[in-house]
Structures are given as C-alpha cells and as structure tokens.
Amino acid sequence: MSDGEAKLINLAFRVRSVAEAEALVESTGGWSKRAMHDIDGEQFLEAGFGGVRINFFETALYDSAAEAPAGFLHASFAVPSLDAILVDPDWRARLIWGPSTIKGGFGHRRIAFFEPLPGCRIELMEEIDE
C-alpha cells in the first residue's frame, strides 16, 4: 500500500441489539458470523456477506448516542500511515474523534474518525505491529 492508498476494510452499522443482529446473521442464508469483539467493554459483531465484512454496533466509539437510530454508521479504511493523513489540513479539519489506539481479537490499531460531509463518516485505521 502506498502512502496515499486506502483499502476498504468494512462497513459499520448501528443496531438496536448486537444479540438480535447475531441471531439474524446466523439464521439468514448468505451471511456468516466471523467473530464477536470487545472494545472497552462494548461488544460488536463482525459478520460477512459474500466478500464484504460488516460490523454491527449498538454504540459507535465517536458518540454515546444509544438512542440514535439504527442504520449506517461509517466505512472503515486501512491506511499505511494515519499520521500522513492527519497532517493534511483538509482531513484534520474534518476530524471528529481520535486518534486513539484500540486492541481486540481483530488486532491492534490506531484509528480516527472523520466527517467530510454532514452525516458521512469515515474511519481510517493503521495496523500496529505487536
């Protein structure tokens, strides 16, 4: 991956209940449950539909709006260097959360969330070697 290249990793959706989403995934053809993960006490479901990885959250890291409606949250992209993105004033001006480091069954990552347009959120993540 070159410095400016981003690779789509997953799409994230808010659901009323991760347990309900898990049951739906397990009972619906074409879907596969990949893993349950935990970030700071919040569980999320990693599932797959075809070749697309889809994560289901009750609460997003960048907000605590449990009463927010279910639906699309953000697209997640891997980048080779989060710092290279953060020095760009256009991206920096649209930073809404982070950067922060997270760790779980998915690995160790440095992440940040941006909102380039109202309601359009993008997560950029850099893998951290253990």
pLDDT at 5 over 50: yes
Please tell me the pTM assigned to this model: 0.78
Q: Which residues have a Cβ under 8 Å from the Cβ of 60 and sit 6 or more positions away?
A: 12, 14, 73, 74
Are the C-beta atoms of residues 114 and 122 closer than 8 Å to each other? yes
The band of 1, judged by pLDDT with boundaries at 50, 70 and 90, is very low
Does residue 2 fall inside a structural domain?
Answer: no
Per-residue pLDDT of 33-43, as tens digits, reads 999 999 888 89
Note down the domain range covering 74: 7-127
Q: What six digits make up the tokens of 18?
A: 């991760």
Residue 1 lies in a domain: no
With tokens 């290279």, the residue in question is 84
How many structural domains comprise the chain?
1
CATH number of the domain at 108, please: 3.10.180.10
For 73-113, the pLDDT digits (tens) are 899 999 999 999 999 988 899 999 999 999 988 889 999 99
Is 45 contained in some domain? yes
Which pair of tokens denotes residue 102? 């997270």
